Amino acid sequence: MRSQIAAWLAAAVATLVLLEIGTCALVETGRVVAPRPSDRRHTYWRGDHPEFGVWHAPDLSYQHRTRCYDVEYRTNSVGARDAERRLRSERPRVVVLGDSYLEGWGVSESERLSNLLEEQTGIEHLNFAMSHFGPYQEYLVYRSLATRFDHDAVLVGVLPANDFLDIDFEEARKQRYYRFHYRPYLVGDPPDLRHVYHREPRWRRWLRHWSYAGSAVITAAEGRARERAAVEVARSGERAWFYDFGDRQARLLEAVLERLAAGAAGKRVAVVLIPTLTDLRSYARFGPDPLSVRLRAAGERSGYRVVDLLPSMAETTQRWPRYFLGCDYHWSAFGNATAANLLREALGPEFYGEEDPGEDPPRPGGSGPGRRAAPPPGRTPER
CA 322, 325, 330 angle in degrees (round to 5)?
A: 105
Other CB atoms within 10 A of residue 381 CB: 13
- State how far the Cα of 263 lies from the Cα of 259, in Å rounded to an integer: 6
- State how far the Cα of 321 lies from the Cα of 265, in Å rounded to an integer: 39
> Does residue 32 sit within a domain?
no
Phi, psi of 220 (to 5 degrees): -65, -40
> Does residue 29 sit within a domain?
no
Cis (ω within 30 of 0) for the bond into 201? Answer: no
* DSSP strands (E only) in 214-296: 268-273
> Does residue 307 sit within a domain?
yes
> Does residue 291 sit within a domain?
yes
CA 110 vs CA 43, 73, 98, 130: distances in Å: 23, 11, 17, 17
105: nearest Cα among 131, 66, 140: 131
Other CB atoms within 10 A of residue 47 CB: 19
Per the DSSP assignment, residues forming a β-bridge with 135 are none
- Report the sign of the C-alpha dihedral through residues 110, 114, 119, 125, in that order: negative
**Residuewise pLDDT in 10s, the chain (383 residues):** 788 888 888 888 788 788 888 888 887 787 776 667 755 445 677 777 889 988 999 999 999 988 899 999 999 999 999 999 999 999 999 999 999 999 999 999 999 999 999 999 999 999 999 998 999 999 999 999 999 999 999 999 999 998 998 888 887 777 655 555 668 999 998 889 999 887 767 777 777 777 888 777 777 765 555 445 444 444 445 689 999 999 999 999 999 999 999 999 999 999 999 999 999 999 999 999 999 999 999 999 999 999 999 999 999 999 999 999 999 899 999 999 999 999 999 999 989 976 544 445 445 544 333 333 333 333 333 32
Q: What is the CATH number of the domain that holds 336?
A: 3.40.50.1110
Other CB atoms within 10 A of residue 57 CB: 13
- State how far the Cα of 218 lies from the Cα of 246, in Å rounded to an integer: 32
> Does residue 206 sit within a domain?
no
> Does residue 105 sit within a domain?
yes
3-state helix, strand, coil in the chain (%, to 5): 50, 15, 35
Structural domains in the chain (count): 1
- Residue 136: which residues within 8 A CB-CB, separation 6 or more? 166, 167, 184, 185, 186, 256
Phi, psi of 172 (to 5 degrees): -65, -35
> Does residue 149 sit within a domain?
yes
> Does residue 124 sit within a domain?
yes
Per the DSSP assignment, residues forming a β-bridge with 270 are 155, 305
Domain that holds residue 75: 48-200+240-352
Assessment of whether the complete model's pTM goes beyond 0.95 = no
Phi, psi of 278 (to 5 degrees): -60, -40
- State how far the Cα of 335 lies from the Cα of 314, in Å rounded to an integer: 12
